[in-house]
Amino acid sequence: MAHQGDALRSWVKAKTDQATREVLHQRLTGARVMAVTSGKGGVGKSSLVLNLALALAAREQRVVILDADLGLANINIMLGYEPVYTLWDVVEQRVALRDTLQAGPNGLRIIPGGSGITELARLDSVDIAHIIEGFQELEGECDWLLIDTSAGISDSVLAFVLAADEAIVVTNPEPTALADAYGLIKAVWEQDGRVALKLVMNRIQSRDQGVRLGNRLTDLAQKALGQPVEMLGQVADDPVVARSVLRQIPFYTAYPNSDATFDVGDLADKLLHRVPPPRRGGWGAFVKRLVENWPREIDRDPI
Ligand SMILES: Nc1ncnc2c1ncn2[C@@H]1O[C@H](COP(=O)(O)OP(=O)(O)OP(=O)(O)O)[C@@H](O)[C@H]1O
Ligand SMILES: [Mg+2]
C-alpha cells in the first residue's frame, strides 16, 4: 500500500510540475508587446523604437514595429519610405494586415498605423475579430511587437500602455520632461496598477547624470505611488542621432561604433536577460484590450 501511495504521490507531483512548467512557459515565452511612450513630446521615442528594434534584430529577435503615433507617424520617414498600405486599409478591408508590413533593415518589419488606429473605435465585432486574427497570425512568427506611441497622457496614449504587456517611458534630463514622465506614470497607475513600466533616460550628458536622475524619478514613483518603475537604462546625447535622421538611415546601422548604438545595445541586452513581465494573452488579447480601452471621442492632435 505504501508503495502505491508513493506512486500516486509522485504521479500527482509530476502532473503538478508539468502544469507549473506549462504556465511558466506560457508566461515567459511568446511574442512580447511593448509600448514606448513619453509624457513630453520630442524626447526620443521614435529614435529609440527604431534603433532598439534593430538592436533586438541583431540579437536574433524577430521584431515588428507598430507605428502608432496618431499625430505624425515618423518611423517611415526615418527609414526614407512611403507606406503603401496602412492599418486604415485593413480597417477598410482592402488588404490583410500582413500586406501592410513594410520591410525595414535586418528583417525588421513595420506596420504603418496611419488613421487606422483611430478608426478601431467604430468597428463592429466581426471587423475587430478580423484584425485580431491578423495580429495573431503574425505573432506566430515574431518575438516582439514594439509600439511607437504619441506623447502625453491622452486617453489614446494610455490605451496603448494599458493594453500592452509592458511599456518603456522615455524621458530626457530636462525638468519638464522628468515632470511629464512622472505625470504619465501616475496617470497609467491610476487606471491599472499592474502595468509593468520601465524607464529610459535619453540624451544624458554623463552616466552619473543618468543614474542620478533615473534613480530620483524611480524613487519618487515608489514613494508617492507605491510601485516600482524598473530603471532599464540610458542613452547618451549623441549627434549621430540627428545625423542619422537626416540621412534616413538608423544610427544603429549607420554609426555602429557610436555611444548611442552602444547604449541601445545595452538596453536590448537587459530586455533579453532580465525576467520579463508575464504575457497577457498574446497579440490578439492586446488588440482586444486596445479596442476596449479606446476613447469613444478621439482627441486628435492638430496636424
Ligand atoms: N540620444 C539622442 N541624442 C541626440 N539627439 C537625440 C537623441 N534622441 C533623440 N534625439 C533627437 O531628438 C529629436 C526628437 O526625436 P524623436 O523624433 O525620436 O522623438 P519623439 O519622442 O518620437 O518625438 P514625438 O513626440 O514628436 O513623436 C530628433 O531630432 C532626434 O534627432
Ligand atoms: Mg515620435
Atom of ligand 1 nearest to the CA of 40: 25
Q: What per-residue confidence (pLDDT) applies to 301?
A: 47
Does ligand 1 lie within 6 Å of residue 242's CB atom?
yes
Lowest mean pLDDT among 24-28, 234-238, 292-296: 24-28
pTM for this prediction: 0.90
- pLDDT value at residue 303: 35
Rounded distance from Cα 47 to ligand 1 centre (Å): 6
Give the CA distances from residue 84 to residues 67, 80, 113, in Å, rounded to whole numbers and listed in that order: 14, 13, 11
Q: Give domain 32-293's CATH architecture.
A: 3-Layer(aba) Sandwich (3.40)
**Nearest residue (CA) to ligand 1, atom 31:** 242
Q: What is the pLDDT of residues 115-154, one digit of tens each?
A: 777 777 778 888 888 899 999 999 999 999 999 999 999 9
Q: Tell whether ligand 1 has an atom less than 6 A from the beta carbon of residue 152.
A: no
Amino acid at 271: L
Ligand 1 binding pocket includes 259 (Cβ within 6 Å): no
Tell me 227's DSSP state: -
| pLDDT category of residue 2 using cuts at 50, 70 and 90 | low
Confirm or reject: Cβ of 237 under 6 Å from ligand 1. yes
State yes or no: pLDDT of 229 exceeds 80. Answer: yes
Q: Is 178 in the pocket of ligand 1 (CB under 6 A)?
A: no
Task: State the closest ligand 1 atom to the C-alpha of 151, by its place in the atom list counted from 1.
Answer: 25
Domain boundaries, the chain: 32-293
**What is the pairing mode between strands 32-38 and 166-171?**
parallel
Between the two ends of the chain, the Cα-to-Cα distance in Å is: 78
Please report which residue ranges of the chain form alpha helices under DSSP H: 2-28, 45-57, 75-79, 87-91, 97-100, 125-139, 155-163, 175-191, 207-225, 239-247, 251-254, 259-273, 282-293
Q: CB within 5 A of ion ligand 2: which residues?
A: 45-46, 74
**Residue range 71-79: average pLDDT?**
85
pLDDT per residue as tens digits for the range 230-283: 999 999 999 999 999 999 999 999 999 999 999 999 999 999 999 999 999 999
